[in-house]
Structure 1
Amino acid sequence: MKAAVMRAPNEPLSIEDVTISKPGPREVLVRLKAVGVCHSDVHFWDGAFPAELPVILGHESAGVVEQVGSMVSAVKPGDHVVSILSPFCGSCEFCLSGHMSVCHTVNRDFFNREEGAEPRLSAGGKPVNQFLNLSSFAEQILVHENTLCAIDPEMPMDRAALIGCGVITGVGSVFHAAQVEPGSTVAVVGCGGVGLSTINGAAIAGASRIIAVDLADEKLAMAKKFGATDFVNPKKGDPVEQVKELTGGGVHYSFECIGLKQTAEQAYMMLRPRGVSTIIGMIPPGVNIEVPGIELLVTEKRLQGAVMGSNRFRIDFPRLIELYKQDRLHLDDLVSDRIGLEGITGALQNLKDNKGTVARQVVVFD
């Protein structure tokens, strides 16, 4: 198969012939139809997060099941599926208590082949590392069955793929992690693909005011389509003060969707007493967030994280698709460009350069 291989940070991805293994026990081979290019991929491509090289990046994908290994029960050949980077084992403390999205952070080896087994991916007779249990910048993926969710075959693949990361991260953080209440006020810091999905989720949840915060006026204009009611550009003044002025003291819920120390701290400071700030952006390793300790005590503000929207993806994905069918989840507006495999390096650079017109660039296979 053809795949975009990363061999060095900040260098163009190499389009190569890569060998993919046959499905083993509980493994599924999927022919991909669409893959979203996510800012999380940029963090590994530019070296901000470590990656074992060579590696095939990509993790936001949809396709059709081609083959299944023994003991697979969740999907069958011909099923249309969406992948996720937070698979679940089904038997650990986190899975059994309903927090499946955390499982992969403590049970990583469960989803991989045993040490010494044939690698899932190889090129020139040498192993190629699999990124986040997926490696979706390729024509096919070979994954554990608990990485996949079967979906309605009528769902367009280029929009279905987006549900697997950016959309579930944003919408899921609203629904599951923060549990935004109808009539409440919300601030979303960062209006890329995840931020726009967070805004969309807050609108579906019934928030009365949704304040979009971004340095790019183009992204603020896009945010209006997804449900934002107010707009703050930090170039025009302190964003915390702007949000407090708009809301008479701060919001009930804030979401940080960039992954920076400064914006994470700003999102917390935008809260009113007893507000909840949820960090969604990928803050680099070694970076600490600082908030006034006394505020945690006397105002009861809360600071929390949410990985992949605290999802239960086999429940959430079909529900999100139904919301899309009802024109409530605006996936069509999220796609800013459709590209081929050879266009991935340029798409990563667009995200790194923070181009204001980019929401989600999607690789589409014939």
Structure 2
Amino acid sequence: MTMKAAVLREVNKPLVIEQVAISKPGPREVLIRTAAAGVCHSDLHFQNGAYPYPLPAILGHESAGVVEQVGSEVRTVKVGDHVVTCLSAFCGHCEFCLTGHMSLCMSPETQRGEHQEARLTLPGGPVNQFLNLSSFAEYMLVHEHACTSIRKDMPLDRAALIGCAVTTGVGAVIHTSGVRPGETVAVIGCGGVGLSAINGAAIAGAGRIIAVDTLGSKLNLAKHFGATDVVNSKDGDAVAQVLEMTGGGVHHAFEAVGLKITAEQSFKMLRKGGTANIIGMIPVGVNIELHGADFLTERKIQGSVMGSNRFPVDMPRFVDFYLSGKLKLDDMISRRIKLEDVNEAMDELKRGELARSVIVFN
């Protein structure tokens, strides 16, 4: 079978819409008809070479769709199910999976081996599948542990956001950092992931949620997602403003930009005993500098990958949050576009003006 897909052939070049052949499902694989795919800043990191990836590849990793076919051993989903995908496919039996850290699983068995037929091919040879998914395409062929079934009354364009932005942002709050009711939170960067962290902090019962950005439009949006206070870092030292507002710093800080300076700011915003969480993708080769004496006050800094998720459990719950009005997804979608408009959406990411463009497939 062939399908239309957006292929990245060269770093720093536009994606090319091409016809790509997609294989049939193996025993534990699922063929999904893509309904919607968010255009995430992480896609841009791979397009511009900040994170090297073997090419050619089909980008896209934040998606939802409908199951079309399943392999003979698939037990978790069935034909006709509505599903959300997750790039952190898991095997279910390695040390990370068995100790509840499924998002850290790197088992090769969720992918096809080098001697097997490729899942995706062009006339010139195989196409690399991006982060277990490759969702800038009309179909996805994935391991069954790269997707989970959700309620059919959930709109699939909103469900796609759960596949990355929501799981990363909300998960960092409730899983990685364990925000408790009444605690103070700062979130640097109010794109899709940052807004999700703000929303997650509100759901977790944080007493004060401070949004930090350079764009007034994004700060206004942050208020809708649950921010109690906003700081425009163009108006002065963001760290000093947060320290003054909180009388000494926040319990939890979340960096959702992916820059050296904002990562360092997230640590400096902490009160004694506070925790900074780096959820933005800082480019390969960039080092973070911190003042060593600050560790004597038990301040902590840590990474969070995909919100430390247990996505087969988390994602259906996030769907319930949305349908009950707790999770604000409608306003996160800035534009709904066609696959052919993907390069324009990537350019918008460079300008940092929008929360999310979502590709909607017919």
Matched, 1:82 2:58: no
Which digits, 9 at most, give the CA deviation of each residue in 1:317-338, with x for residues without a partner? Answer: 1111111011110011111100
Aligned residue in 2 for 1:344: 342
Distance 2:116 2:275 in 1: 45
Matched, 1:307 2:309: no
Alignment of 1:1-366 (within 5 A): 1-104=3-106, 107=107, 109-296=108-295, 298-355=296-353, 358-366=354-362
Structure 1 residue identity aligned to 2:290: V
Distance 2:21 2:146 in 1: 21
Shift of 1:125: 4.5
Which digits, 9 at most, give the CA deviation of each residue in 1:218-253, with x for residues without a partner? Answer: 111110100001111111111100000100110111
Distance 1:87 1:143 in 2: 9
Q: What SS does the aligned partner of 1:18 have? A: strand
Q: What SS does the aligned partner of 1:273 have? A: strand
Q: Which runs of 5+ in 1 are unaligned?
A: none
Structure 2 residue identity aligned to 1:72: V
Structure 1 residue identity aligned to 2:204: A
Which digits, 9 at most, give the CA deviation of each residue in 1:247-302, with x for residues without a partner? Answer: 01101110000111110000000000000111100011111111112211x21011
Structure 2 residue identity aligned to 1:60: E
Percent identity, aligned pairs only? 63
Structure 2 residue identity aligned to 1:96: L
Structure 2 residue identity aligned to 1:118: E
Q: Which runs of 5+ in 2 are unaligned?
A: none
Shift of 1:137: 0.2
Q: Between Structure 1 and Structure 2, how many residues are aligned?
A: 360
Distance 1:200 1:82 in 2: 20
The TM-score normalised by the length of structure 1 is 0.97
Distance 1:101 1:9 in 2: 27
Which digits, 9 at most, give the CA deviation of each residue in 1:44-103, with x for residues without a partner? Answer: 011111121111000001001111112111111111100000011111111111111111
The TM-score normalised by the length of structure 2 is 0.98
Shift of 1:10: 2.1
Structure 2 residue identity aligned to 1:195: G
- Root-mean-square deviation (CA, aligned residues, Å) is 0.8
Q: What SS does the aligned partner of 2:334 have? A: strand
Distance 1:330 1:362 in 2: 16
Distance 1:346 1:51 in 2: 22
Which digits, 9 at most, give the CA deviation of each residue in 1:146-199, with x for residues without a partner? Answer: 001000011100000000100010000000011101111100000000000000
Structure 2 residue identity aligned to 1:318: P
Structure 1 residue identity aligned to 2:361: F
